């Protein structure tokens, strides 16, 4: 089992969720985060004053999936989240030792 974490632009959430659902991934966790990278932020004008915004709003999506479908999940997220612009995001894959469904006590792949 693996945890696939993707940091994406907020307006791409619905497309990514639909892509994951079509792959049979029905549970995900979404966290609002801020990121700084090659995009290096931008400037905004508020009440006539210019402000530099270094950390841009992003969403972090986390899904626990069986190891066998990780390549398809990565491809699905990539195709759904890509705009072709700097700041589209990143995907990280991390090993998952154990998963337990609290309600039923199911473990590992059965808990996903």
pLDDT category of residue 30 using cuts at 50, 70 and 90: very high
CA 29 from centre of chain: 8
pLDDT of residue 104: 93
pLDDT, one tens digit per residue, over 79-105 is: 999 999 888 999 999 999 999 999 999
CA neighbours closer than 13 Å in the CB half-sphere of residue 3:
12
Global pTM value = 0.85
pLDDT, one tens digit per residue, over 47-77 is: 777 777 778 889 999 999 999 999 999 999 9
Question: How far is 29 from 109, CA to CA, in rounded Å?
Answer: 17
């Amino acid at each position: 089992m693996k945890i696939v974490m993707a940091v994406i632009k907020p307006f791409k959430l619905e497309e990514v969720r639909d892509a994951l659902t079509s792959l049979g991934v029905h549970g995900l966790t979404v966290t609002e985060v801020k990121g700084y990278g090659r995009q290096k932020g931008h400037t905004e004008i508020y009440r006539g004053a210019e402000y530099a915004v270094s950390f841009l709003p992003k969403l972090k999506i986390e899904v626990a999936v069986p190891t066998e479908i990780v390549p398809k999940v990565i491809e699905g997220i990539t195709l759904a989240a890509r705009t072709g612009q700097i700041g589209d995001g990143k995907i990280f894959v991390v090993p998952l030792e154990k998963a337990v469904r609290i309600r039923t006590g199911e473990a590992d792949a059965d808990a996903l």
